[in-house]
């Protein structure tokens, strides 16, 4: 183990040839701190010297490697005192101009007659050329004994050449300390490269097969680490679960609440509630993801569970991803719950000073039953008297770590995570493997499909406005969503503010139009939301702050401007703000996009209102690493895994990690593996 820890030496103390203080500083900035970080700073791509382009074949915009002899070199001073070093490079097919800005010293390095590689993008002025490319002497190739050279993510002031040299030296010096962390059985079973070998090869592969083998090895490594982390954490939690607790199983407030509700729960809602009751009664700590399409009634389920905990003397937390949402949830619940004797508070980042202190005290002394809030709830100074249940709305904004921090605040911290971002089950299991999954697969009765129309031009917009006006006169309300707050010249998007002014003073002059955006003061936002809920505002122009959770059943029209800016999941979420009551609802997607992917998205939206189907289409359209909801789940750290296409490898890793832990009864015998997992939990 002591040997392995050498990989955790800080770069300052690592004594790597060619690695000086200044370079270390630069590396530190991109979080490369230790030897291990440097070894794991994998190339983002390769330069294949076996595949050099001919100068006569290059095209504008292409990223290429050229090889040629320097014909001429000249240093030019421009009128505004810039220095350009310009060469003409020739290969057997032609000549190209290559220039470097503000690097006069190149005059002495890139002298006529030398044979070099240049690696960069082809630009066009009047003729094709290259500007500021990387360069290398052909004679240098010998140093790496390789024709495929690694390219690293650019760090300002560090060239590829320097990075290659440092990493090469680092591998040479530390290779013997790179000990294996994947259990032998798995290495043998799947014929994986050993860790030390794979690290050396991924930086300096000899051929494409090496690269493939390395990618596979690291994909498995990453996934195993993720699954081990999740499952090991879970094993621990389940052991703690032996600590039985006792609930009187009282349901008075739950009953009061249900009595006041003017509808019956759907079977799917009942099923989920019963499952959770059962778990709690059996003394298990609840750890559950509730998935359900927008408007399927997840929030009601959460409220019932919070009431159940309150009935039995425990406090509960309801956590939302944004302040507006927290406020919206709070407003949606507070009157109803106060009536049945539940004490509620709200705690968000903008509540400060004395008011905050008061709330904190109430929480601490058990004078509050349910606290609604944002990230502010995980601060250290929030202490509970007896926290029993944490509900997290839209879990993609909270990662594993935040969940853990919250949970640590309660002796008995049951956890319910709600998500309206349907992910195919197999994927959900892999990503949120530390949670049990319940699905509410039924919408409340009487819901009508939302009619969705893609609006492409001014003419159609006029008609849409007319239509909206007629609906407003029938008593309905309308949301209009615009992506940004202020006009950004660069994106040239119609901003919410601008749109608001236009509508308020124009077509909808006689209607009540208001705006809501993230930069408004808390009480302003709250006031506007209240007014909208009470139907005193007819049109609410807003930024995407209303994306999730907002619930105003009387609102039946959703207009999304610049809708090509949104991903499918987001569009579906936004659309889900309407169609939440008995009224026929409409969604208009404004866009004049010419982009094929955007067009496909809008068409899918027109055709389907099924969240699961949309999620699947979404997966197909997205590149890996862009999957909605994976940002903080740990899966975004995966560099080698494409979570759309590598489902098989994901399953494999999960099964192997499970098997290992069940055979070893939850212990991890491989010291290196244990060290790495515990370091990261
Ligand atoms: N069983 C039911 N019958 C009728 N209406 C219901 C039922 N359950 C919930 N509702 C109503 O449907 C609307 C949506 O419910 P809720 O806010 O709980 O959904 P959600 O799944 O949390 O939605 P979202 O993910 O879109 O925020 C609310 O107006 C709620 O009162």
pLDDT by residue (tens digit) across 223-247?
Answer: 898 888 877 877 776 666 554 566 7
Predicted confidence at residue 658, as pLDDT, reads: 85
Calculate how far, in angstroms, residue 580's C-alpha sits from the geometric centre of ligand 1.
7
Q: Which residues pair with 560 in a beta bridge?
A: 481, 589
Closest by CA position to 538, among listed 559, 516, 515, 511 = 511
Atom 23 of ligand 1, nearest CA residue: 295
Q: Computed from CA positions of residues 223, 224, 229, 235, in that sequence, does the dihedral angle turn out positive or negative?
A: positive
Pocket test for ligand 1, best of 444, 446, 550, 570 (most atoms within 8 A of CB): 444
Cβ–ligand 1 distance for 349 under 6 Å, the answer: no
Predicted confidence at residue 168, as pLDDT, reads: 93
Cβ–ligand 1 distance for 292 under 6 Å, the answer: yes
Atom 4 of ligand 1, nearest CA residue: 444
Cβ–ligand 1 distance for 549 under 6 Å, the answer: yes
* Nearest atom (ligand 1) to Cα of 550: 27
How many angstroms separate the CA atoms of 59 and 53, rounded? Answer: 10
Cβ–ligand 1 distance for 332 under 6 Å, the answer: no
Structure tokens at 551: 């619930």
Closest by CA position to 558, among listed 527, 528, 590 = 590
How many angstroms separate the CA atoms of 478 and 425, rounded? Answer: 34
| 73-94 CB burial, b ≥16 within 10 A, e <16 | beeeeeeeeebbbbbbbebeee
* Nearest atom (ligand 1) to Cα of 296: 21
Task: Identify the three-state secondary structure at position 588.
Answer: strand
* Nearest atom (ligand 1) to Cα of 264: 1
Calculate how far, in angstroms, residue 288's C-alpha sits from the geometric centre of ligand 1.
19
Identify whether the C-beta of residue 470 lies closer than 8 Å to the C-beta of residue 606: no
Instruction: Check if the interface score ipTM surpasses 0.95.
Output: yes
Identify whether the C-beta of residue 490 lies closer than 8 Å to the C-beta of residue 503: no
Task: Identify the three-state secondary structure at position 94.
Answer: coil
Calculate how far, in angstroms, residue 607's C-alpha sits from the geometric centre of ligand 1.
23
Write out the DSSP string of 494-505. --HHHHHHHHHH
Predicted confidence at residue 629, as pLDDT, reads: 40
Contacts of 214 (CB under 8 A, 6+ apart): 193, 198, 201, 202, 205
Cβ–ligand 1 distance for 263 under 6 Å, the answer: yes
Atom 9 of ligand 1, nearest CA residue: 297
Q: Which residues pair with 290 in a beta bridge?
A: 418, 438
Predicted confidence at residue 492, as pLDDT, reads: 44
Cβ–ligand 1 distance for 267 under 6 Å, the answer: no
Pairing relation of β-strands 134-137 and 451-455? unpaired
Structure tokens at 666: 């939850």
Could you say which residues of the chain have pLDDT below 70? 140-146, 237-246, 394-412, 421-434, 484-494, 518, 544-550, 622-638, 642-645, 647, 680-681
Q: Which residues pair with 291 in a beta bridge?
A: 419, 439
Identify whether the C-beta of residue 447 lies closer than 8 Å to the C-beta of residue 579: yes
φ and ψ at 38, to 5 degrees?
A: -70, -45
State the first-to-last Cα distance of the chain, in angstroms, to the nearest integer.
19
∠ CA 281-283-288, rounded to 5°? 85
Cβ–ligand 1 distance for 512 under 6 Å, the answer: no
Predicted confidence at residue 245, as pLDDT, reads: 61
**What residue has token string 């959460």?**
302
Instruction: Count CB neighbours of 359 within 10 A.
Output: 20
Identify whether the C-beta of residue 415 lies closer than 8 Å to the C-beta of residue 319: no
Cβ–ligand 1 distance for 120 under 6 Å, the answer: no
Cβ–ligand 1 distance for 553 under 6 Å, the answer: yes
Atom 1 of ligand 1, nearest CA residue: 265
Calculate how far, in angstroms, residue 361's C-alpha sits from the geometric centre of ligand 1.
33
Pocket test for ligand 1, best of 268, 299, 417, 576 (most atoms within 8 A of CB): 299
Atom 16 of ligand 1, nearest CA residue: 297
Predicted confidence at residue 489, as pLDDT, reads: 43
∠ CA 427-433-435, rounded to 5°? 115
Cβ–ligand 1 distance for 299 under 6 Å, the answer: yes
Calculate how far, in angstroms, residue 24's C-alpha sits from the geometric centre of ligand 1.
54
Calculate how far, in angstroms, residue 265's C-alpha sits from the geometric centre of ligand 1.
10
Identify whether the C-beta of residue 410 lies closer than 8 Å to the C-beta of residue 363: no
**Total residue length of the chain:** 681
Cβ–ligand 1 distance for 409 under 6 Å, the answer: no
Calculate how far, in angstroms, residue 299's C-alpha sits from the geometric centre of ligand 1.
7
How many angstroms separate the CA atoms of 148 and 663, rounded? Answer: 42
Atom 3 of ligand 1, nearest CA residue: 444
How many angstroms separate the CA atoms of 525 and 325, rounded? Answer: 11
Cβ–ligand 1 distance for 298 under 6 Å, the answer: yes
Q: What pTM does this model have?
A: 0.63
Cβ–ligand 1 distance for 461 under 6 Å, the answer: no
Q: Is the backbone of residue 420 left (phi > 0), alpha (psi -120 to 50) or beta? A: alpha
Write out the DSSP string of 642-680. -TTT-HHHHHHHHHHHHHHHHHTTT----HHHHHHHHHH
Cβ–ligand 1 distance for 552 under 6 Å, the answer: no
Identify whether the C-beta of residue 433 lies closer than 8 Å to the C-beta of residue 230: yes
* Nearest atom (ligand 1) to Cα of 269: 1
453-504, pLDDT tens digit by residue?
999 988 999 999 999 999 999 999 999 988 765 445 445 445 778 888 989 9
């Amino acid at each position: 183990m002591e040997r392995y820890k050498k990989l955790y030496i800080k770069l300052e103390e690592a004594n790597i040839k060619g690695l000086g203080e200044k370079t270390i500083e630069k590396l530190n900035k991109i979080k490369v701190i230790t030897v291990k970080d440097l070894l794991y700073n994998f190339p983002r791509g390769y330069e294949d010297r076996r595949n050099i382009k001919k100068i006569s074949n290059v095209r504008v915009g292409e990223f290429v490697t050229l090889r040629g002899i320097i014909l001429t070199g000249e240093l030019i001073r421009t009128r505004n005192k810039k220095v350009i070093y310009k060469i003409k490079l020739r290969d057997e097919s032609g000549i190209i101009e290559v220039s470097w800005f503000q690097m006069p010293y190149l005059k002495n390095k890139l002298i006529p007659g030398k044979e070099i590689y240049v690696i960069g993008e082809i630009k066009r002025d009047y003729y094709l050329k290259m500007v500021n490319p990387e360069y290398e002497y052909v004679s240098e190739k010998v140093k790496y004994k390789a024709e495929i050279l690694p390219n690293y993510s650019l760090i300002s002031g560090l060239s590829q050449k320097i990075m290659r040299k440092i990493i090469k030296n680092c591998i040479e010096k530390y290779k013997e300390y790179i000990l294996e962390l994947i259990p032998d059985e798995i290495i043998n079973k799947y014929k994986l490269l050993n860790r030390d070998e794979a690290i050396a090869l991924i930086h300096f592969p000899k051929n494409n097969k090496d690269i493939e083998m390395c990618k596979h090895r690291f994909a498995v490594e990453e996934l195993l680490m993720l699954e081990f982390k999740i499952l090991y954490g879970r094993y621990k939690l389940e052991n703690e679960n032996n600590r039985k607790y006792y609930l009187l199983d009282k349901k008075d407030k739950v009953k009061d609440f249900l009595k006041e509700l003017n509808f019956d729960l759907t079977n799917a809602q009942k099923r989920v509630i019963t499952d959770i009751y059962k778990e709690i009664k059996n003394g298990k700590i609840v750890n559950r993801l509730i998935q359900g399409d927008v408007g399927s009634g997840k929030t009601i389920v959460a409220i019932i569970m919070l009431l159940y905990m309150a009935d039995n003397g425990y406090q509960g937390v309801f956590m939302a991803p944004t302040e507006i949402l927290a406020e919206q949830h709070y407003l949606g619940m507070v009157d109803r719950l106060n009536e049945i004797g539940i004490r509620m508070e709200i705690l968000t980042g903008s509540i400060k000073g004395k008011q905050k202190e008061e709330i904190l005290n109430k929480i601490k002394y058990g004078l509050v039953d349910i606290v609604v809030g944002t990230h502010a709830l995980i601060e250290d100074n929030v202490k509970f008297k007896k926290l029993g249940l944490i509900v997290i709305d839209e879990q993609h904004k909270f990662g594993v770590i935040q969940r853990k921090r919250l949970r640590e605040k309660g002796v008995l911290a049951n956890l319910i995570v709600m998500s309206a971002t349907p992910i195919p089950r197999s994927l959900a299991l892999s990503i949120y493997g530390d949670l049990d999954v319940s699905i509410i697969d039924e919408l409340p009765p009487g819901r009508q499909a939302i009619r969705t129309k893609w609006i492409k031009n001014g003419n159609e917009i006029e008609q849409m406005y007319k239509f909206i006006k007629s609906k407003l006169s029938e008593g309905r309300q309308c949301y209009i969503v615009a992506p940004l707050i202020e006009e950004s010249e660069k994106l040239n998007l119609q901003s919410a503010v601008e749109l608001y002014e236009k509508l308020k003073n124009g077509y909808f002059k006689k209607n009540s139009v208001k705006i809501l955006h993230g930069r408004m003061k808390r009480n302003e936002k709250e006031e506007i939301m209240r007014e909208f809920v009470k139907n005193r505002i007819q049109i609410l122009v807003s930024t995407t702050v209303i994306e999730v959770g907002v619930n105003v059943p009387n609102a039946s029209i959703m207009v999304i401007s610049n809708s090509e800016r949104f991903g499918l999941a987001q569009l579906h979420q936004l659309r889900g703000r309407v169609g939440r009551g008995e009224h026929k609802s409409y969604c208009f997607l404004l866009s004049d996009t010419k982009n094929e992917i955007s067009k496909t998205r809008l068409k899918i939206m027109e055709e389907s209102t099924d969240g699961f189907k949309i999620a699947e289409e979404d997966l197909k359209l997205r590149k890996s690493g862009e999957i909605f909801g994976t940002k903080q789940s740990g899966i975004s750290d995966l560099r080698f895994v494409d979570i759309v296409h590598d489902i098989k490898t994901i399953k494999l890793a999960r099964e192997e990690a499970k098997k290992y832990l069940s055979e070893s009864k939850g212990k991890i015998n491989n010291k290196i593996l244990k060290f790495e997992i515990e370091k990261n939990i």
